[in-house]
Amino acid sequence: MADEALFGAIERARAEWGGRLLILGHHYQPSEIVAHCDAVGDSLELSRLAAASRAERIVFCGVRFMAETADILSRGPGRSVWMPVPQAGCPMADMATADALEAAWGRLCAATPKAKWAPVVYVNSSAEVKAFCGRHGGAACTSGNGRRVVEHFLARGFRILFAPDQHLCTNIMRTLGREGEVALWHRGTADGGLSEARIRAATLVAWDGCCPIHAGFTPGDVAAARAAHPGAELLIHPEAPSPVAAQAEHVGSTKAIIEVVSRAEPGAELVIGTEDRLVRRLAAANGHLRIHPLRPILCADMGRTTPEALLRTLTEWPEACRVRVDDALVPDARASVERMLAL
């Protein structure tokens, strides 16, 4: 089907459902998908929209953990969540499993019998991991509110097990002036590679997962960008390594990056270190600015959603595209996300 015909077919299918359908899209989705979304946002914005929605069907254009979060928050009679390409996952979310976290949790608690621990899990994690977090009294977080969530627990005397993104975690602790209190838990080892003395000395233990996209930015990229665009401001997503983020004028979530762009004076020059579909869209929508990618890197999973798959979902509703989190996980997983939303 030609692009125009495909566009029209998707819009007709949308119109048939009217207000009973909500299509959500992440900022990293391809532009031909964003064009059909009722709302485009980052993980936190889309979580809030899913929670507030009364639509019968939510179609989530993004990756699997996002659709799972929408299902966890929007469960109700006659309501359902769908993904055009349910195989689209997140390599970072796959770096932490609930079983591995439970084992680490047991070791941390055994090494510090008098300490209070709380798990904090990035929303970029599976429903099982969110349920682990909720079961142990912790909260989810996003790149936008991670610092607030971490501060909440630290202020109440908790030590934190943070998963799965080590870089978001170290960037938060760096901005708090406490990066030296972080110990890194090495996946795939029985003891995390941490002695009992190291665990006892740590305020926060960070899982050693990362986003392969944002972790790919290097200090060399920053040096090259500074040389090519002297005077440009650098905006970096906090999933980038701390030595990279520490050099930026602005470190923030996709929403925060978009806000900095929207406030920039005409003619301003900005170098942006995040997923390239968003950078390209910002450059195209802001012709009065000079916007460059720190280095163009695409998330392959975010790019898996196609107009053809979206049309098929809206017209055939294949059961394989339905996202339904195991009922047994929902109460604990929801508790972790709702604690985050309440902070």
Interface positions with ligand SF4 (CB under 6 A): 28, 63, 90-92, 124, 211-213, 275, 299, 301-302
| Gyration radius of the chain's alpha carbons | 20
Cα(316)–Cα(324) distance, rounded to whole angstroms?
Answer: 18
Please say which residue, 21 or 93, places its beta carbon nearer to ligand SF4: 93
Shortest reach from residue 146's CB to ligand SF4, in Å? 13
Which residues are registered as beta bridge partners of 291?
Answer: 270
**129 and 207 Cβ atoms separated by less than 8 Å:** no
Which residues are registered as beta bridge partners of 207?
Answer: 185
Please say which residue, 68 or 275, places its beta carbon nearer to ligand SF4: 275
Please say which residue, 90 or 139, places its beta carbon nearer to ligand SF4: 90
Please say which residue, 211 or 251, places its beta carbon nearer to ligand SF4: 211
Shortest reach from residue 317's CB to ligand SF4, in Å? 24
Please say which residue, 42 or 71, places its beta carbon nearer to ligand SF4: 42
Shortest reach from residue 125's CB to ligand SF4, in Å? 10
Nearest to 168 by CA among 102, 236, 224: 236
Shortest reach from residue 124's CB to ligand SF4, in Å? 5
Nearest to 277 by CA among 213, 225, 212: 213
Tell me whether the omega of the peptide bond preceding residue 164 falls within 30 degrees of 0, making it cis.
yes
- Total Cβ atoms within 10 A of residue 26: 26
Residue 65 is encoded by which pair of tokens?
């953990």
Q: What share of the chain is helix, strand, coil (3-state, %, to 5)?
A: 50, 15, 35
Shortest reach from residue 62's CB to ligand SF4, in Å? 8
Shortest reach from residue 209's CB to ligand SF4, in Å? 10
Sheet containing 80-82: which strands, arranged edge to edge? 39-41, 21-26, 57-61, 80-82, 322-323
**Per-residue DSSP letters for 53-110?**
---SEEEEES-HHHHHHHHHHH--TT-EEE-SSTT---TTGGG--HHHHHHHHHHHHH
Shortest reach from residue 165's CB to ligand SF4, in Å? 8
Backbone angles phi, psi at 317, to 5 degrees: 45, 60
Shortest reach from residue 215's CB to ligand SF4, in Å? 8
Cα(79)–Cα(69) distance, rounded to whole angstroms?
Answer: 14
Shortest reach from residue 300's CB to ligand SF4, in Å? 8
Please say which residue, 71 or 301, places its beta carbon nearer to ligand SF4: 301
**Residue 128: what residue type?**
E
Residue 20 is encoded by which pair of tokens?
């009973």
**CA neighbours closer than 13 Å in the CB half-sphere of residue 189:** 10
Please say which residue, 301 or 332, places its beta carbon nearer to ligand SF4: 301
**Beta strands 57-61 and 139-141, pairing class:** unpaired
Please say which residue, 205 or 210, places its beta carbon nearer to ligand SF4: 210
Please say which residue, 98 or 213, places its beta carbon nearer to ligand SF4: 213
